[in-house]
């Protein structure tokens, strides 16, 4: 388990299927995520049952509140490249009432610290739709910097949006 100031990060369990089903079918949660299709509960249960255990290549963790142990979201480090010591991170808080409370920022900081201090990563990157201001602010708060822009790379509700490529180096994480 990884522990932050507000959250605990633990491996996914089959029992998480119901929460994932709610989150993945909540259009507000999914609005700025690379997700195009609504998922069935049966499909999610199968995906959880079939998924590989966490490894250097991919670590997926459930974000729980520290006190109540309530599952509120997911954070994942993926595509870890052992030569260049870089990986990509994805995060979302699925329980909307926890948005803006610092839980996502705390989870992201903790998983990046794990990536740098345990998985020996040197840099961690992500992409974020530019208009997702809360996310961009969250990432900048812990040291991510904008390294580039993908113009019109994200299409949602009939409109094109730019994505920012953001990255944090080991010594920049704060």
What are 1's two structure tokens? 């388990």
| Closer Cβ to ligand COA, 32 or 116, answer by number | 32
The 8-class DSSP code of residue 121 comes to -
Dihedral, CA of residue 150, residue 117, residue 76 and residue 68, to nearest 10: -130
Q: Which is nearer to ligand COA, 123 or 138 (CB)?
A: 138
Establish if 142 lies at the interface with ligand COA (CB under 6 A).
no
If DSSP codes are grouped into helix, strand and coil, which group holds residue 144? coil
Instruction: Give the per-residue SS3 of 10-70.
Output: EECCHHHHHHHHHHHCCHHHHCCCCCCCCCCHHHHHHHHHHCCCCCCCEEEEEEEECCCCC
> Taking each helix axis from N to C terminus, what angle separates 41-50 and 17-24, rounded to the nearest 10 degrees?
130
* Residue found by looking up tokens 């900081």 in the block: 109
Tell whether residue 162 is a contact of ligand COA (CB under 6 A). Answer: no
**Residue whose C-beta lies closest to ligand COA:** 104
- Which of 78, 141, 149, 152 is close enough to bind ligand COA by CB under 6 A? 141
**Least Å from the CB of residue 165 to ligand COA:** 11
Per CB under 6 A, 132 contacts ligand COA = yes
Q: Which stretch binds ligand COA (CB under 6 A): 10-18, 41-49, 98-106, 109-117?
A: 98-106
- Binding-site size for ligand COA (CB under 6 A) equals 22
Which stretches of the chain bind ligand COA, using CB under 6 A?
29, 32-33, 73, 91-93, 99-105, 128, 132-135, 137-138, 141
């Amino acid at each position: 388990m990884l522990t932050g100031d507000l959250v605990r990060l633990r491996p996914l369990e089959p029992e998480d299927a119901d929460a994932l089903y709610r989150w993945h079918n909540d259009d507000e949660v999914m609005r700025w995520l690379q997700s195009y299709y609504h998922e069935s509960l049966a499909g999610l249960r199968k995906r959880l049952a079939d998924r590989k255990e966490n490894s250097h290549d991919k670590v997926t963790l459930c974000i729980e509140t520290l006190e109540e142990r309530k599952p509120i979201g997911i954070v994942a480090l993926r595509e870890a490249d052992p030569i260049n010591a870089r990986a990509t991170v994805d995060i979302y808080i699925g329980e909307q009432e926890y948005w803006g409370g610092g839980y996502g920022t705390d989870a992201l900081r903790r998983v990046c610290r794990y990536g740098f201090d345990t998985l020996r990563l040197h840099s961690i990157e992500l992409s974020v739709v530019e208009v997702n201001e809360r996310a961009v602010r969250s990432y900048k708060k812990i040291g991510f910097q904008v390294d580039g822009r993908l113009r019109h790379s994200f299409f949602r509700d009939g409109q094109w949006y730019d994505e920012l490529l953001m990255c944090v180096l080991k010594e920049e994480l704060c």
